Chain A
Amino acid sequence: MGCSSSLPDRGSGRLVGPNVENGGAADAKNLRVKLVLLGDSGVGKSCIVLRFVRGQFDPTSKVTVGASFLSQTIALQDSTTVKFEIWDTAGQERYAALAPLYYRGAAVAVIVYDITSPESFNKAQYWVKELQKHGTPDIVLALVGNKADLHEKREVSVQDGMGYAEKNGMFFIETSAKTADNINLLFEEIAKRLPRPALSSSSSIQNP
Chain B
Amino acid sequence: MENADVFTGLHEFLERMRQPSASDFVKSIKSFIVSFTNNSPDPERDSAAVQNFFAQMEVDFRVHPLWAGCSEEELDSAGEGLEKYVMTKLFTRVFASLPDDVKLDNILHEKMALVQQFIRPENLDIQAPFQNETSWLLAQKELQKINMYKAPRDKLVCILNCCKVINNLLLNASIASNENPPGADEFLPVLIYVTLKANPPQLHSNLLYIQRYRRQSRLVAEAAYFFTNMLSVESFISNIDAKALSMDETEFEKNMESARAILSGLSTDLNSQPNQSDQPVNINKEPTAPPKSSKVPSLSDLEDKGAALLVNDKQASQVFRQYPYLFAHVGDLTVNDVEDLLNNYKQLVFKYVCLSKGLGDSAPSLPLKSSETQDRQHAETAKQQDHTRAAEPNDGPSKDTDRKDDGSNTGSLFEVESLESKLSEDQTVAPQDSKHEESSQSQLS
Contact = CB atoms under 8 A, between A and B. Distances in A.
Given A22-B217, A46-B182, A64-B413, A92 B189 contact: yes
A10 B411 contact: yes
Given A66-B183, A95-B188, A98-B235, A71 B221 contact: yes
Interface stretch (A81-89, A156-164, A181-189): A81-89
A101 to B, nearest CB: 5
A37 B244 CA distance: 22
A90 B188 contact: yes
B25 interface: no
A69 B221 CA distance: 9
A15 B167 contact: no
B381 interface: no
A92 B125 contact: yes
B368 to A, nearest CB: 28
Given A19-B217, A64-B413, A65-B167, A89 B179 contact: no
A20 interface: yes
Interface string A98-112: 100110000000000
B412 A62 contact: yes
B217 A20 contact: yes
A11 B168 CA distance: 15
Nearest to A208: B72
B442 interface: no
A69 B232 contact: no
Given A5-B181, A7-B175, A66 B167 contact: yes
A102 B228 contact: yes
Nearest to A95: B188
A56 B228 CA distance: 27
A68 B225 contact: yes
B435 to A, nearest CB: 31
A2 interface: yes
Contacts of B178: 5
B247 to A, nearest CB: 11
A41 B179 contact: no
Contact of B185 (A8, A62, A87, A90): A90
Contact of A45 (B170, B184, B239, B243): B184
B53 to A, nearest CB: 16
A139 interface: no
Contacts of A144: none
B34 interface: no
A190 to B, nearest CB: 18
Given A46-B184, A94-B246, A12 B412 contact: yes
Interface string A17-56: 0111110000000000000010001101111011000000
A66 B182 contact: yes
B415 interface: yes
A97 interface: yes
From B124, B183, B220, B413, name the one whose CB has the most chain A CB atoms within 10 angstroms: B183
B185 A92 contact: yes
Contacts of A49: 183
Contacts of A42: 185
B216 interface: yes
Contact of B187 (A7, A12, A90): A90
Interface string B153-167: 000000000001001
Contacts of B226: 69
A85 B413 contact: no
Contacts of A95: 188-189, 232, 236
B410 A65 contact: yes
Nearest to B412: A12
B267 interface: no
A67 B183 contact: yes
Given A2-B180, A21-B216, A69 B222 contact: yes
A136 to B, nearest CB: 15
Contacts of A90: 184-185, 187-189
A20 B175 CA distance: 36
A200 interface: no
Contacts of A167: none
A49 B187 CA distance: 15
Interface string B313-342: 000000000000000000000001001000
Q: Name the residue in B59, B180, B184 with the highest tally of chain A Cβ atoms < 10 Å from its Cβ.
A: B184
A84 B243 CA distance: 35
B218 interface: yes
A1 interface: yes
B231 interface: yes
Contacts of A207: 59, 62
Contacts of A5: 174-175, 178-181
Nearest to A101: B232
B391 to A, nearest CB: 33
A34 B141 CA distance: 31
Contacts of B97: none
B170 A66 contact: yes
B180 A64 contact: no
A2 B185 CA distance: 14
Nearest to A48: B183
Contacts of A62: 222, 412-413, 415
A87 B225 contact: yes
- A-B interface, 5 closest residue pairs, ranked by CB to CB distance from nearest: A46-B183, A88-B184, A66-B167, A90-B188, A69-B225
Interface of A: 1-3, 5, 7-8, 10, 12-15, 18-22, 37, 41-42, 44-47, 49-50, 62, 64-69, 71, 85, 87-92, 94-95, 97-98, 101-102, 206-207
6 contacts: A5-B178, A13-B412, A50-B181, A87-B228, A94-B244, A98-B235
